[in-house]
Structure 1
């Protein structure tokens, strides 16, 4: 829909779509808005799912931002500042527009992100904790640009942080550090550590479904 800044896929709930809760889904680097739909479709049938496409083409998919590797390689990468800021703004604007376009319940909006989408989601909830009811961040980390934020409204916020013990793209330690920080500022953090690499396995998916059902 043209009034929503980012291209997206919308899956309406089975019944009573007006004023229903919603999950906004943010894919990883090089993927697209279809990538996480198999995950999102496993969530409650009472949810709207709005899966957003990142703004910049990359190798047959899309990316939210380029990587700043100046700190020393992929394991220490950070988002490119200007592109990250642009994507944060685009997602926030798309959420606001979708609330109006699809008559969503604005008080029950959640974020589900993987990799770059998880990094983006964690930053968004710190910038607007009252806007999001819950956040799922899978195989991501907390960007340095947002690491010192401790906004009012983050206390008690449900945040799920999932990581892979064998993840060589975003090591488990970076996800754990994000969880530590959110705990330190008072969020209600659920942690998940799973065998495997940079992907979502069945055990992780089951925990995500249970988390969303508890908080959506």
Structure 2
């Protein structure tokens, strides 16, 4: 697959021909790289297709999807460009790999959380769930972008209690906004700063496993109903 972004894909070892798999698109924070996110969800590699997307811009010892004027104020042209490129990447990957179109998930930390929430809002029902960790939704996304309904969306919102970059009031704003619009929102505050703890990682894996179980049960129920 040709792409603007360098990426790493992990496919289940025992893939079945003709079967479609749920996918997790992972977006890292500024100054990090795709492996930092894949490490959080590697326990799920036999159940999900995992795709870590590396930012196309260099930043310190890592990468970024866009640059900032200062925290909370992205370089608008770069942000808009990254949103369009990531939207296209998700579409291309969905056509290239055996991905279930009804089970696409986004996970992101910091800059990746900002993008994952923003992408969920513009992609609508093509995204099943999102896990934003320590980020926010830019006001211009809420006010100027064309947003779609997320009434179907499952959200696991994560926040650090002592995050000096995105403090608790930001996490609460995220929760209030998403709670009004999404199907379900789980909001957990961790005793951390701007980082992902081991407990946060364990909860993320557990939440995604529960999503897998729930979706499998629903698929079985739908098959039973259709047969009847």
Q: Specify if TM > 0.5.
A: yes
Contact preservation (8 Å) 2:10, 2:45:
no
Aligned residue number for residue 37 of structure 1: 38
Unaligned stretches of 5+ in structure 1?
A: none
Query: Higher helix share goes to which structure?
Result: 2
Write out the 4+ residue segments of structure 1 that deviate beyond 4 Å after TM superposition: 148-152
Give me the whole-angstrom Cα distance separating, in 1, the residues matched to 2:182 and 2:104: 20
Is structure 2 residue 165 aligned with structure 1 residue 144? no
Between the two structures, name the one with larger relative contact order (CA 8 Å, sep ≥ 6). 1
Instruction: Give RMSD over aligned pairs.
Output: 1.8
Is structure 2 residue 85 aligned with structure 1 residue 90? yes
Contact preservation (8 Å) 1:21, 1:48:
yes
* TM-score (structure 2 length as normaliser): 0.85
Structure 1 residue 164, shift from structure 2 partner: 0.5
Cα distance change on mapping 1:34 and 1:186 into 2, 3 Å: closer
Is structure 2 residue 159 aligned with structure 1 residue 163? yes
Secondary structure of 1:41's match? helix
**Which of 195, 201, 206 does residue 205 from structure 1 map onto?**
201
Greater shift after overlay, 145-154 or 89-98?
A: 145-154
**Number of residue pairs the alignment of both structures matches:** 209
Give CA-to-partner distance per residue, 1:144-178, whole Å, 9 cap, x none. Answer: 12234794531141011101011112222212211
Give me the whole-angstrom Cα distance separating, in 1, the residues matched to 2:91 and 2:197: 31
Give CA-to-partner distance per residue, 1:59-115, whole Å, 9 cap, x none. Answer: 12111111133xxxx3xx222211111111111111111112222112211001000
